[in-house]
Structure 1
């Protein structure tokens, strides 16, 4: 039968591993350490091996991995004094308005493998990608921005979160996207999450590689200049664009 391959995949071992990841992902909204635990469990996995292969296939990314570039910590106060509308200035204003800690991820100086370093760099630059692409830094904006990283690197933690978000909505959604009457209900539909993930993947495929860029050395450059150079068409409207939040637009006015 055409479905026999499912029996090959759905071994007790694979099912148990899957359920463990579901449990961790379900709690990540309340405790971000769950995300770090997912990363830890995937660091030596076959999906991570494919991620490393994808990253190293791009020459400038491979050089960054070889170099183990860390760069200075993001200093919101110093970045807030950079030229108005620069990437660093915009990042500082948005993060400050939200009350977010730019050092939210586990701090590292030593890395045991290429996979270990790639995970660190993905985490450090994650919120920069939000600023570049316009996807909000909370809620379903996360699905959009992590899908950009998935499209460019196959980073397994983010890929797993995308897949689990769709799976969970598959079981809970009771509304068609065409029936939604307000933005607050969009996240309850499977169709809208598909659209967000697809939008992020499209942006990622069209953009130049983001992984190898040393943002720390280019924060004073114009945000629009970066977007034009990288071929990023940002999300400037809709409920899951940070531009749609009045307090954030006021922060960069």
Structure 2
């Protein structure tokens, strides 16, 4: 039996590179900056080449990259003033209720002033990330995060998000010592490999079933009814359980007010 392939894969250099990237991915739960930095580190890699190739095959998506079209910033008050049930009103109200910064994503300067295609791709991915949460129904916390990022992995293999998925699955494997059926609360179940695998699978399936989201002009869709937009884009959202923002009573009350 030959272990030469494993020797190449598990070389000291490869292991150190993996550990450096894993350290950034593991810190993403505490600071979004970590996942920004992780994606920045991966911009000149083969996984990013794959991402570029997939986006190039969709002319509408690639036009955004070639033209370096700006994303945001978003006006929270203006969004909240939009009609109830619209994408904009839902987006603004959810972000305000949770106390999140709607313009949390880095400015172009962080991404080398969008010098390369990879820099722009990273910029747009994070500028539209929370809109994807609203569309898909995945909660804006650790319980729904792997689901929503898997949608982008399915559609165009974004390397930073794909690596985050892999680390999330790996770390859940290290944590899991009890069958998910033996755990009573969803919070306990969410720490298991079975739950993480389900979240990733749901996001991947949703992304494969949906229309391309990368080229959607969200600024022009904010006043559109959210349910109509979901139907148009082929998105069947997550509506139940801790992995869905729809099940958050405080958000439901704020949206109904």
- TM-score with structure 2 setting the length: 0.95
C-alpha change, 1:3 and 1:212, in structure 2 (3 Å) is farther
CA contact (8 A) 1:65 1:117 kept: yes
Could you say which residue in structure 1 is the equivalent of 2:101? 101
Could you say which residue in structure 2 is the equivalent of 1:171? 174
Could you say which residue in structure 1 is the equivalent of 2:69? 69
Displacement after TM superposition at 1:8 (Å) = 2.6
Could you say which residue in structure 1 is the equivalent of 2:186? 183
- The 3-state SS of whatever aligns with 1:104 is coil
Structure 2 CA distance for aligned equivalents of residues 32 and 43 of structure 1:
17
Displacement after TM superposition at 1:186 (Å) = 1.2
Structural mapping, 1:114-125, within 5 Å? 114-125=117-128
- Point out the more displaced range, 2-11 or 203-212: 2-11
Gaps of 5+ in 2: none
2:52 maps to 1:52? yes
Displacement after TM superposition at 1:28 (Å) = 2.1
Gaps of 5+ in 1: none
Structural mapping, 1:1-253, within 5 Å? 1=1, 4-108=4-108, 110-253=113-256
Structure 1 CA distance for aligned equivalents of residues 125 and 135 of structure 2:
15
C-alpha change, 1:159 and 1:72, in structure 2 (3 Å) is closer
Structure 1 CA distance for aligned equivalents of residues 124 and 2 of structure 2:
41
CA contact (8 A) 2:137 2:244 kept: yes
Structure 1 CA distance for aligned equivalents of residues 82 and 174 of structure 2:
47
Displacement after TM superposition at 1:3 (Å) = 6.1
CA contact (8 A) 2:146 2:199 kept: yes
Structure 2 CA distance for aligned equivalents of residues 186 and 2 of structure 1:
40
Residue-pair matches, total: 253
CA contact (8 A) 2:27 2:34 kept: yes
CA contact (8 A) 1:175 1:188 kept: no
Structure 1 CA distance for aligned equivalents of residues 75 and 41 of structure 2:
31
Structure 2 CA distance for aligned equivalents of residues 27 and 64 of structure 1:
30
- The 3-state SS of whatever aligns with 1:236 is coil
Displacement after TM superposition at 1:159 (Å) = 0.4
Displacement after TM superposition at 1:238 (Å) = 1.2
